[in-house]
Structure 1
Amino acid sequence: MFGECHAHLFMNGTDYRQAVRDHKESVNVQKIREELASYQKNGIDFVRDGGDKYGVSERARDLAQEYGIDYRTPVFAIHRKGHYGGIVGKSAETLTEFAQLVSEVRHRNGDFIKIMVSGIMEYETFGALSEPGLEADWIREMVHIAHEEGFSVMVHGNGREPVLAAVEAGADSIEHGNYIDTDCLDAMAERECVWVPTIVTTRNLLGCGRYPEHVLEQIYEKECENLIYGFEKGVKLAAGSDAGAYLIPHGEGVLQEIQIIVESLTNIGYNETGVRERIQQGERWIRERFHRK
């Protein structure tokens, strides 16, 4: 049985603005139950949420046991003020404020810390991100502070420099990892940092008409290329779909992600059973590390 290693339960996979309306004034328990039921229906017994600023994942963790789901959440993600991350969490202008937010996560029984170190992909142009990554010193200190407080660290990161800085700082997992290079993947393998590539977020956009098709194809090809290199180098891989993001349904998204990983690797000769076992190994590693201490 597989788990979903990267989800956002407050989002609905189709309309972000509607998702915000559903939960902004107060957490919509009915919506949470509907999404948890989707995971249960698809045989998923583990969900690691990426956090939100409305308290949805916090409430989902309380309800998830009714559905036989082990639910983990950072409560909210933390980003540097003025940079990407406001849709899923809270900002810190200084490292002192960052430490205060880490303390808030502990007070609210968060399972781990999630930090944002880069922007997101601009699907109109290959290689473009919405903003540059944070400075290596900031990334290093955020990871250090979280570790000092006994938390594992989940890192939203894209682009070579911020991802490499996060891995070298001791990040426990890298989420997305678009536009990284072999140096980043070599470092992940060496430091046993698990990678959750969320390739399905691009694959499901193919053919939707929202972005230039040739750009999506370039991005998808690069993602699969990095996946193959990382697998061959022994990088710990885990399946997460960014469920709740556009065209990524809760409950089904991670199954689609697993299929992408399996197909990409079996197409070049790897054994399907072996690939699935590697994915499960990465998930087990996440289950062991990303929990309240």
Structure 2
Amino acid sequence: MSDTESSTGIIGTRVLGEDFRFTQVANLGWSAGTFDFSESGRMPISGENLWVVPGFVDAHVHLGWTDFSEDDRKRRSPEELQRLISQNLHSTLTAGFTGARDAGGLSKTWIGRANNGELPSPTISGSIDCITAASAQEAGGIERATERVLSNGASWVKLIATDGISSPSSSLNSHFSASQIRSVVNIATQSGCRVMVHAWGGEAITWAIEAGASSIEHGIFLDDDQARAAAESEVTFVPTLCIYRKVYDMITLGSLPSFLHDRVKHIVDVHPRAVRTAMEHGVKIAVGTDFGSVEQHGSNADELLALLDAGLSPKELLQAATTNGAELLDCRCRTSFLLKERMPADAVIFARNPLESATYADPHAIAAVVKTGRVVTV
């Protein structure tokens, strides 16, 4: 594709519809940041061999993290952090993700800059920080910790309810009681915000669903009863599969402690089962990478491939990456999950059919990305 950055439309292309089938359209243009099907725009792109889908959403990512290790991040100079965070935002956008929910680490200032269009970036909503058992105790209780996060400008409250990779154990015991989780959801709701819960399994998932959390993050050991309850309560599942594969690779290469090997290997083996359990019970699945280093950001297609490996069809994958993610982020993210007149002009332009699994393994499958009417070359 040539002159894409100057183009404001495509002629004779295929557009993904609400039924997740492609329809041939004569013109797909964009102006003032929104779609316009009445004309092809200035210097139109020939869409004969192109497929256009709504912009993807990464519903769990750490765009402000430049290194996997917090100690390494702290050693970065302010100038390095500025450059590398900008690179993270741009890499994620060119991977086709025009919307994102930052799960901790990206400041309110960075989110404002991204959403004001100051730099190439997805539209972002974020949790700013995470609430752990330690931070809740330090704040004087879970209620105060929640209020503190909200006062810092978070649009999401992220609750770390079970151990994780960096924990000394892999216990599934909940760090918070059922009543504490309910308090967090109530306070967030009163502020017009919602709650995302990091929970590998156990009672934390059950209590989060019962309390009215909007999403379960990771859910490695999600069981049938929990999946049924999540579907009934319309709780979204964000599994973040491939990050554990990447962590496993880091362990085998010696960049992470070897004592993590067996635990992470077990997670990699059983995690896809949780995705299949969610699918069997009709739980909405959204795409989330949980990426947290410069090397990881931009390789978002790895999560798409992991979801395909877990059993999603290409159609279900597109639903997870577009509709489900956009609905989860709601008005906090301007990413449209419909290619319609006057909707935000956010789209991924594919050079291969996105309804074919092999497309996602092709590093050249994405020809360009459109973000609020601006074409970003890949």
TM-score interval, normalised by the smaller of the two chains: 0.7 to 0.9
Structure 1 residue 12 corresponds to structure 2 residue 66 = yes
Would you say 1:263 and 2:309 are equivalent positions?
yes
In the alignment, the residues of structure 2 paired with residue 93 and residue 32 of structure 1 have an alpha-carbon distance, to the nearest angstrom, of 32
| Identical columns (%) | 24
Q: For the structure 1 residues 218 and 119, does the alpha-carbon distance in structure 2 shift closer, same or farther, using more than 3 Å as the test?
A: closer
1:35 equivalent in alignment to 2:88? yes
Which residue does the alignment assign to 2:280? 232
**The one of 260, 266, 277 aligned to 1:218:** 266
Note the C-alpha offset of 1:132: 4.3
1:242 and 2:290 aligned: yes
Kindly indicate whether residue 114 of structure 2 is the aligned counterpart of residue 114 of structure 1. no
Q: Give the distance between the partners of 1:43 and 1:220, measured in 2 at CA.
A: 25
Distance 1:199 1:248, change over 3 A: farther
Larger gyration radius, structure 1 or structure 2: 2
Aligned to 2:128: 75
TM-score by length of 1: 0.80
Aligned mate of 2:192, from 150, 153, 156 = 150
8 Å CA contact 2:218–2:238 kept in 1: the answer is yes
For 2:80 and 2:130, locate their aligned partners in 1 and report how far apart those are by CA, in whole Å.
17
Q: Residue type matched to 1:38 in 2?
A: S
Relative to 1, partners in 2 of residues 1:216 and 1:248: Cα closer, same or farther, differing over 3 Å? Answer: farther
Partner residue in 1 for 2:103: 50
**Preserved CA contact (<8 Å) 2:66 2:85:** no
Contact 1:159–1:180 (CA<8 Å) still a contact in 2?
A: yes
More strand by share: 2
Structure 1: runs of 5+ lacking an equivalent: 84-89
Partners of 2:195 and 2:215 within 8 A in 1: yes
Instruction: Look up the match of 1:205.
Output: 247
Q: Against the structure 1 CA distance between its residues 91 and 116, is the aligned structure 2 distance closer, same or farther, given a 3 Å change threshold? A: farther
Q: Secondary structure at the match of 2:124?
A: strand
The number of residues matched between the two structures is 271
Q: Is the helix fraction higher in 1 or 2?
A: 1
Shift in alpha-carbon separation, 1:20–1:186, aligned structure 2, 3 A:
farther
1:81-126 CA deviation, whole Å, 9 max, x = no partner? Answer: 367xxxxxx9533244235315513xx3x3222222222147998x
Please say if residues 133 and 161 of structure 1, whose CA atoms lie closer than 8 Å, have aligned partners that are also in contact. Answer: no
Q: Does 1:167 align with 2:209?
A: yes
Q: 1:225 to 1:248 in 2, by over 3 A?
A: farther
SS across alignment from 2:213 = coil
Helix, strand or coil for the counterpart of 2:180?
Answer: helix
> 1:282 matched to which residue of 2?
324
Q: Would the aligned equivalents of 1:157 and 1:175 in 2 still touch at CA under 8 Å? A: yes
Please give the per-residue CA displacement for 1:127-172, whole angstroms capped at 9, x wherever unaligned: x238643111111111111112211111122221011101110000
- More contact order relative to length (CA 8 Å, sep ≥ 6): 2
Sort the Cα spacing of 1:193 and 1:248 in 2 relative to 1 into closer, same or farther, 3 A: farther
- Alpha-carbon distance in 2 for matches of 1:27, 1:276: 35
Structure 2: unaligned runs, 5 residues or longer: 1-54, 335-378
